[in-house]
Amino acid sequence: MDFLINVVLPVSLAVIMLSLGVGLTLGDFARVFGRLRAFGVGAVAQVVLLPLAAYVVARAFGLAPEFAVGFMILSFCPGGVTSNMISKLANGDVALSVSLTAVISLLSIITVPLLTTWAVGHFMGEAAPEVSVTSLAIAMFLITTLPVAIGVTLRHVAPGFAAAIDRPLSLVATILFVLIVVAALAGNWGIFVENLATLGPALITLNLSLLVIGLLIASWLGLGWGERKTISIETGVQNATLGITLATLIAPGVEGFSTFALPSAVYGITMYLCALPFVAWYRSR
């Protein structure tokens, strides 16, 4: 289990982020400046509204401190490859989805360590483990930002090779994601079963609320239908693998996967259950 957590988990996340980077071009970052309104709405929804909604839901359901921290960690994570895939399935604005994922993923090296440190202290109080913002930022850089940068560079200097490995790498990333979620659930199976009645509804409520909130805000601000669908998905879909990895990083002395990781692991299943009806509806319109 230690090998799985200390080696396989971070390497898996790095592969997932590399697959994200290989699918990006420099134009995906530059495109932001030509679509500031739509990008700004999506960015605010992800970085501000999402954690606020998670905080309200965690308090409303009276989650235990460890679960509340895990809940908040999940809300700090960007969408990743999954949100791009779901946006494409929903016939959304894939270019906007990719741009949001690209920029927010890079910004997460700053936002995630700071917000995670706050959440641990806020919910855990005196029982909070010591969390180093610097250590988290370095870890975020090594397992998220650096692989994305390598992938983007590879796409730029060797586009043919990047295109050839894009699909196989995405398949490997998907398999690794499933394995990580299963391992995290299996490592906390007793706690998972004991708290599923509370944790499951809380995660589903958060997920559905965010999908609706993203859609309503984008509609209220007069964005196009494709942009509305994408912002809804980008607001409601997070990188569960990053959430599990962060939960492990802030509890290094715990044997196996910590309970901080359980919300992200359960979310790795519920997000598809919640997103699929929206995808079906979006595709029909």
* Amino acid type, 53: A
- Max intra-chain CA distance, the chain: 54
Distance in angstroms (rounded) separating the CA atoms of residues 150 and 136: 20
For residue 22, what pLDDT is reported? 81
Q: Contact 282/92 with Cβ under 8 angstroms?
A: yes
Q: How far apart are the first and last CA of the chain?
A: 46
Q: Which token pair is 174?
A: 């998907």
Spell out the residues 6+ positions from residue 270 whose beta carbon is closer than 8 angstroms to its own.
200, 203, 204, 207
Q: What DSSP state is assigned to residue 60?
A: H
Position 178 scores a pLDDT of 77
Per the structure, the complete domain to which residue 227 belongs is given by: 2-284
State the pLDDT at residue 82: 78
Torsion of CA 55, 59, 63, 64, to 10 degrees: 90
Rounded to whole angstroms, the Cα distance separating 168 from 162 reads: 10
H helix or E strand, kind and range, residue 270: helix 262-284
Judge whether 183 and 4 are in contact, CB under 8 Å.
Answer: yes
Number of domains forming the structure of the chain: 1
Place of tokens 């929804």: 45
Q: Which two tokens stand for residue 251?
A: 């509890």
> Can you give the pLDDT at residue 237?
87
The predicted structure's pLDDT at residue 261: 85
DSSP 6: I
284: phi then psi, degrees, rounded to nearest 5: -80, -10
**C-alpha span between 180 and 66 (Å, rounded):** 19
Report which DSSP code applies to 255: S
Q: How far apart are CA 24 and CA 146, in angstroms?
A: 14
70/99 Cα distance (integer angstroms): 27
What token pair was written down for 170? 């995405």
**145 Cβ contact list (under 8 Å, min separation 6):** 17, 105, 106, 108, 109
- Give me the amino acid identity at 25: T
Write out the chain's pLDDT in tens, 285 residues.
556 666 677 777 788 778 777 877 777 777 767 778 888 999 999 989 999 999 999 999 999 999 999 999 999 988 777 787 888 888 888 888 888 888 888 888 888 999 999 999 999 887 777 888 888 888 888 888 888 888 888 888 888 888 888 788 778 877 877 777 777 777 777 777 777 788 889 999 999 999 999 999 999 998 889 899 999 999 988 888 888 888 888 876 666 677 888 888 888 888 888 888 998 898 887
Q: What is the CATH number of the domain that holds 169?
A: 1.20.1530.20
Confidence at residue 162, expressed as pLDDT on a 0 to 100 scale: 82
